Structure 1
Amino acid sequence: MIALSVFDGPGGKELLDALILAAWLIVAGYALVAFIAYHQHNKRRAAEAQVRLAAAAFEASIQGMMMTDAAGAILQVNAAFERLTGYARAQALGRHAGFLTSTRHDPGFFQRVFAAAEERGYWEGEMWNSRANGDLFPAFMTLSAVRGARGRTVNYAMSFVDISERKQAEQRIRHLAYHDLLTDLPNRALMGERVGAAIERARRDGRKVALLFVDLDRFKNVNDSLGHVVGDELLRHCAARLLATLRTADLVGRQGGDEFAVLLADLADIEDAARIAAKLVESVRRPFVVGSRELRLTCSIGVAVYPENGANFDTLLQNSDSAMYAAKEAGRDCFRFHSLEMTRRATWRLELENDLRRAVPANQLWLAYHPQIDLKSGKLAGCEALVRWRHPARGAMNPAEFIPVAEDSGIIVSLGEWVLREACRDRARWAAAGLAGVRVGVNVSSVQFRDPAYVGSVERALADARLPAALLELEVTESVIMGGFEHVVATLEALGRLGIHLSVDDFGTGYSSLSYLKRFPVDKLKIDRSFVIELPGDSESCAIASAIIGLAHGLGMRVIAEGVENERQVAFLRDAGCEEGQGYFYSAPLAAAEFEARYLAPALAQR
């Protein structure tokens, strides 16, 4: 009590209040320290959880991954790294990341990669890496610089995937672009390049070049009597026979059907070409053994020589073709050189051209529609408009005869506009009658596509027919879309802005650049019939079709296959992811009235 008396005197209450406040502050201080410690503990646990999550993601990634220090020494790798490279973790740690690069790259390659990542913050691209067993493989790699608090690089993060399968598919597609599928001989595109190069060398060295056009006589009889399987095998035998007869420096290519082209380079005189042509005629004359059959053929060969008969591939090919017809007129089983007197074929083409100019106003043309079917539902998905010609004297004309004449003469512009307008009018009539959601496809030639007024003509055709643009699909070939990148992109984008669907016809038969293709606003790829005909029995055809389907889907495009002729082909294509099919398995091309009877009437009955 005496001790407490100090609080009874003057200022005692203030002293007591101060002591109580001090006691509370001490208690509060301990509580604050405990709270801060608890909060820091939770933050540490959260950070540790994030680290564990990042480590788990790093380890579980299907991409090969590496972490290095600022000098590029490997600090950590994941399981996918070990699987893709064959190097165990212990073999990689501490080594410079560049040890993976193959000898296909120069010694400074990886230093440049790191320098680019340091400058931009990242680098990505393709490279060739080596596995532990010495095998090389193409990889797509991403290298990212990890910056510290002061902005300096403290680590590098690297990830890569093996792109061997994609590269093989691309290589196969590139090969197909320059080679005939049936015989694996160079196609017209590659022959054109090789002939052009041979002409340049001959011009420099004062030599000659000969182009031989080889046509198998009456080959159609083989297909008609023994079937296309035997015919195709005979074509392979012919290709091998021609190759075996030629010199090492010569080149033989297939132009299509039963036609071959032979390049004879570095000739001293035309007698050399005559001797080789005679050997080719004799070699084809010898019997062929196909299966259990012994078959006999002859051939007609036309010869055109640089510089006498032309200074470029197209001219030499045209003149050798004319000479080949002269050989046929001489009784076949022989060869002939080109001469200025060979006017028969040129006259025939001129007459055909004049007749074709009169065909539209004379109402000799009509459209057939080839149905396109959804492979899953079996329902109509679209149709392709195909032009037909009833010639007053020659009867039904093969489009393969008059379309090239139309393109060469420029008639294709007016002809193509007629086809477009007729197709739009027919489709608009069907839409008014109740057929919904089915697009009509119209083919576009390279001549049309290069016409600056083409987009406007399409817009007018849609407006005049009052057809929604979404119901029109324009089909262009690979040669069209590769005919001048900037112009092609501008035209395709203009058509796309109208709402028109765009597709690439006969994909795989031309020479598409895959890097360009992904930049085009294309909705659909059409697999060429040559890749479909041997499905599913031929493994290479299966691989090619699957690669094209995968490529299209990877670029966000749909796929349609043409030339579908049986249920097995349908089953393979459907299982491979192809959305649509077109071919005689479903229907032959139909006149408009037949198309309406088959598809429009049932559609109305279901309403």
Structure 2
Amino acid sequence: MTTLLPVQSDHLIAAELAQAIVNNQLSVVYQPQVESHSGTIAGFEALLRWQHPEIGVIPPSLFIPIAEATGLITELGDWILEQAIGQLKEWQHQYQHDLKMSVNISVQQLTTPDFIYRLQNSLEKHQLAPHSLELEVTESIAIEDFEEVRPILQFLQSLDIQIAIDDFGTGYASFTYLQLFCWDILKLDRRFVKNIHRNSVNAAITENLINMSHDLGFKVVAEGVEIQEEAVILQQYGCDKVQGYYFSRPMTAASIATRFLGRKIAIIASTESCAA
């Protein structure tokens, strides 16, 4: 396995990334999202992985910024959308359950002239109901970019596609974003969830954010739930869905089908039975 040197890594990744799709080096893994009140699997977040034959696993934190800088993010984004939509339809058909699929979307991808056309084609190809798809827009998007993106998001909502604001609380203008757009889903960042069972400040902020979101008509998904105590408190606060290593690490589609689909997950359970 080749070890990347910092001075050569960006150039090498950029050169190899364009061929990663055609060479079958990319894959999609799925992390379950669990309904807090029932413990049932509500859906999944689709996440991109890259297994390079010589370098090994290249983390998204390395190649996604390069994909954005080189313009390849649109091709990668379209590819993961196609994979995720097809996989979700297969699961819905097999398990007769209205599962959801959440996919991260970039500003570049959203503003591509024929993005909506390509997305609608994929939904129609797989006969997936639009309300089953959730598109996540990161909170780090600049305010000036959001002015361009807002009408596109509104049109997607008119098609019954759900729009989520991701990593809420990580940016400098968190509450500004709540005023800019009528989101369907707010995803709480791990920093709010961490140790809420013993951090009264985090607990108070989290509870108030959940209540405020519900008052505004948003559903709330808490990310980064790693221990049982966090899951239990989020359930008590009325958080709609929870996601994190306590329930499962991101897994392949085959592993998801074997382990989770058709099962109920207890929020109050042993870590051994729930965590990967």
Aligned to 2:131: 470
Distance 1:472 1:481 in 2: 24
Instruction: Please state if 1:557 is matched with 2:223.
Output: no
Q: Deviations over 1:372-413 (max 9, x none)?
A: 001111110111000111101011221111111111111111
Structure 1 residue 552: deviation in Å? 0.9
Q: Deviations over 1:294-322 (max 9, x none)?
A: xxxxxxxxxxxxxxxxxxxxxxxxxxxxx
The match for 1:592 among 227, 250, 253 is: 253
Distance 1:447 1:482 in 2: 15
Residues 440 and 546 (structure 1), Cα distance of their counterparts in 2 relative to 1, 3 Å cut: same
CA contact (8 A) 2:36 2:238 kept: no
SS at match of 2:101: strand
C-alpha RMSD of matched pairs (Å): 1.9
Q: Identify the structure with bigger relative contact order (alpha carbons < 8 Å, sequence gap 6+).
A: 2
The match for 1:535 among 169, 177, 196 is: 196
Distance 1:521 1:452 in 2: 23
Structure 1 residue 511: deviation in Å? 3.2
Q: Deviations over 1:530-550 (max 9, x none)?
A: 221221211221122123212
Aligned to 2:106: 445
Distance 1:348 1:485 in 2: 31
SS at match of 1:475: strand
Aligned to 1:433: 94
Distance 2:47 2:112 in 1: 21
Equivalent position amino acid for 1:556 in 2? G
Q: Deviations over 1:238-270 (max 9, x none)?
A: xxxxxxxxxxxxxxxxxxxxxxxxxxxxxxxxx
Structure 1 residue 596: deviation in Å? 1.3
Instruction: Please state if 1:496 is matched with 2:157.
Output: yes
Structure 1 residue 483: deviation in Å? 4.0
Structure 1 residue 345: deviation in Å? 3.9
Q: Deviations over 1:432-485 (max 9, x none)?
A: 213421100000123223323322222122122221111111111113373434
CA contact (8 A) 2:29 2:48 kept: yes
Residues 382 and 481 (structure 1), Cα distance of their counterparts in 2 relative to 1, 3 Å cut: farther
**What is the percentage of aligned positions where both structures have the same residue?**
38
The match for 1:390 among 48, 51, 59 is: 51
Instruction: Please state if 1:520 is matched with 2:154.
Output: no
Structure 1 residue 602: deviation in Å? 5.0
CA contact (8 A) 1:481 1:488 kept: no
Structure 1 residue 583: deviation in Å? 0.5
Distance 2:224 2:176 in 1: 28
Residues 472 and 547 (structure 1), Cα distance of their counterparts in 2 relative to 1, 3 Å cut: same
CA contact (8 A) 1:421 1:465 kept: no
Structure 1 residue 356: deviation in Å? 0.9
Structure 1 residue 521: deviation in Å? 3.1
Aligned to 1:226: none
Larger Cα-atom Rg: 1
The match for 1:373 among 34, 45, 48 is: 34
What stretches of structure 1 of length at least 5 have no aligned partner? 1-343
Equivalent position amino acid for 1:460 in 2? N
Q: Deviations over 1:45-93 (max 9, x none)?
A: xxxxxxxxxxxxxxxxxxxxxxxxxxxxxxxxxxxxxxxxxxxxxxxxx
Q: Trace 1:196-595 onto structure 2 (pairs within 5 A).
A: 345-480=6-141, 482-512=143-173, 514=175, 516-595=177-256
